[in-house]
Amino acid sequence: MKMNDFRLDGKIALITGASYGIGFAIASGLAEAGATIVFNDINQDLVNKGVAAYKEAGIHAHGYVCDVTNEDQVNEMIAAIEREVGVVDILVNNAGIIKRIPMIEMTAAQFRQVIDIDLNGPFIMSKAVIPSMIKKGHGKIINICSMMSELGRETVSAYAAAKGGLKMLTRNICSEYGEFNIQCNGIGPGYIATPQTAPLRETQPDGSRHPFDQFIIAKTPAGRWLEAEELAGPAVFLASDASNAVNGHILYVDGGILAYIGKQPK
């Protein structure tokens, strides 16, 4: 193995839903390793904000408006990327949503929406890029799974069902297309410190931690929330030639939560 195996020079990486947050952090890491960055989001305003954020970070990114659940839009976007940028070497299926609703209060329509974005979206995106990857003789697909690919928790029935399905879609893409030098793996993030989770980490009026913050700290051997940037290294590895023998694997970047039963009550 050479350290150059971790470089992504000359590779085109498409990261879905990467205007901000985890997708932006992963894309920034791939760019630092040499990849050309392409991303999409659901509307032009988000794409514009994403392009501006990448520019501020010193990254020239190509942004496209596309709904990952719309197969026609996805096919049109992939065709445009191939014309304007080149064939996608690396696909990161990052776009997703979560609805925290008790199962018996969740409508079937709400359940389907989560499944559509978090599971059907990666299926549609992967299906769109695989033919050109086969022609080119290589490809990397990284699905952003979750600890909910392995665990259940109250109020996330649709999300857990989708992410569990995404784990198995990852393994099946490996099974079907590994012979074409296509590696499909997943990353399962732990609890990430983002602006969206900031209210859950605020100190309470009495000086104590938020109950959910206490819960996460107690369940994480690292004893802290993770940073989005900590997903970049694993993503670079799975996107690079260094992982050519790794296929159908879910890499959990969770600070040790899945290995840990939790602290014993005092």
Going from the C-alpha of 168 to that of each of 179, 182, 229, the distances in angstroms are: 18, 16, 26
Query: Is residue 114 within a helix (H) or strand (E), and if so which, with residue range?
Result: helix 108-115
CB 35 within 8 A of CB 90: yes
- Determine the Cα–Cα distance for residues 208 and 106; give it in Å rounded to an integer: 32
Residue tagged active-site, from 159, 177, 191, 252: 159
5 vs 145: CA distance, rounded Å: 25
> Is 177 a residue of the active site?
no
The DSSP-derived string for 137-183 is T-EEEEEE--GGGT---TT-HHHHHHHHHHHHHHHHHHHHHGGGTEE
Name the residues annotated as catalytic.
159
